Amino acid sequence: MRGHVESEYEVAVSADEIWAVYSSPDLPRLIVKLMPTRYQKIDVLEGDGTEGTIIRNYLVPANPQPLTWNEKFIKIDNKTRTKVLEGGWLDMGFTLYENIFTVIKKDKNSCIITQRTVFDVAEEFESNASLISSSWAMARAVANYVIQNHDQDGISCPCKNCKNLNNESCGTVHHCLQAILERKIL
């Protein structure tokens, strides 16, 4: 059985700023800090946070099962602002489990974050499909993080090394996010 669930979350932040976080190699480390009641830790098993990276997610025990699973970053597309993670709940009878995150520009200062979970599940495990949901929690956490770290003077690029005054990403997204992580969280 093939199925999917999807959620959309609209935010008053530019698509470039939101995508800077979603596309960052530091996202696994950041998301644990942004969602401490959900994630206990995320280990990078292989890779550097770019395409091909394999992570192991560990949820806080108060969450419903499963509490651990592996995922692989199979696509990070900066043109379409799409990130695809494959893996997930394969131990529960799913033969395909993908989380697809897309950041869609609405206008200069707003965007829509979509999360789509696509799955195939073996017939004898169809009841497990009811466990799948597509929540706004990660989108809301990322959006709140970007809003809280938005420069007071209107400069979007947090590294301040690029002298970007056009309210756009400087193009060195990972460098900029690293500057935020070092300054604000760690």
What is the residue-wise DSSP string for 129-177?
A: GGG----SHHHHHHHHHHHHTS-TTS---TT-SS---SSS--S-HHHHH
Distance of CA 59 to the CA centre of its chain: 15
Domains defined for the chain, CATH in brackets = 2-149 (3.30.530.20)
> What is the tens place of the pLDDT at every residue in 152-168?
444 444 444 444 444 44
Give the mean pLDDT of 4-15: 94
> What is the tens place of the pLDDT at every residue in 91-105?
899 999 999 999 999
Among candidates 107, 165, 182, which has minimal Cα distance to 156? 165
Token pair, residue 58, equals 């560990």
Q: What is the pLDDT of residue 139?
A: 94
Q: What is the pLDDT of residue 91?
A: 87
CB neighbour burial string for 16-30, b if at least 16 within 10 angstroms, e if fewer: bbbbbbbbbbbbbbb
CA distance 39 to 36: 5
Active-site residue numbers? 83
Max CA separation in the chain (angstroms): 58
Average pLDDT over the chain reads 85
CA distance 158 to 152: 10
CA distance 180 to 54: 24
Q: Is the pTM of this model over 0.95?
A: no
Neighbours of 138 (CB within 10 A): 22
Cβ proximity of 47 and 54 under 8 Å: yes
Give the mean pLDDT of 122-150: 88
